[in-house]
Amino acid sequence: MINRVDMDINMFLNAGFHKFLGFKLVERKTDQVKLSVDFREELSGAGDAFHGGVISSIIDTVGGFAAWSGYNGPTENMKCSTITMNVEYISMTKGESIVAEGIVIKRGKDLNFVDINVKTADTGRLIAKGSIVYRIAK
């Protein structure tokens, strides 16, 4: 049976910008989410490398989903947003699919702190690291 968090994640992945990017849910556990995206030419910055904006977008998205995956509070009149985001680009891809994993490292009253690693899907080579602070407020 699909739960509320999975329904919300799937709704966001099938809407607008996320749908264009082609993010796919790989795995969801409490406080942990993995998303993937396949390389396509229209997502490149130059040649066969992902544009940095795609990398930062998957970091932001998987971080927010990780924060939601462990949230147990009320959802009516909820306000949520990314407060801060840091990205470290470590290596470029060569026409490879990537997987981003977000893990909540601390949960406060409204603020959730999430670490993210982006790796190549086939070899697990680290492409980028990121962190976000995500706010979920009543």
Q: Quick: pLDDT tens for 24-82.
A: 999 999 999 999 999 999 999 878 899 999 999 999 999 999 998 888 777 777 788 99
The domain that holds 42 is classified in CATH as: 3.10.129.10
Question: With a threshold of 0.85, does the pTM exceed it?
Answer: yes
Give which of 88, 80, 75, 74 is closest to 116, Cα–Cα.
Answer: 88
The residue ranking higher by pLDDT, 76 or 135, is: 135
- Strand locations in 9-125, DSSP E? 24-29, 32-37, 44-46, 49-50, 79-89, 98-107, 111-120
Q: Are 24 and 36 in contact (CB under 8 A)?
A: yes
Domain around 80: 4-137
User: pLDDT tens digit string along 69-102?
Assistant: 888 777 777 788 999 999 999 999 889 999 999 9
> What are φ and ψ of residue 136, in 5° steps?
-125, 110
24-29 and 98-107 beta bridge pairing: unpaired
Helices and strands counted in the chain (H then E): 3, 8
User: Is residue 69 classed as helix, strand or coil in its secondary structure?
Assistant: helix
Q: What is the dihedral of CA 50, 52, 53, 57, to 10 degrees?
A: 90
**pLDDT at 4 (0 to 100):** 57
Tell me, what amino acid is at 133?
A: V
**pLDDT at 28 (0 to 100):** 92
Our count of domains for the chain comes to 1
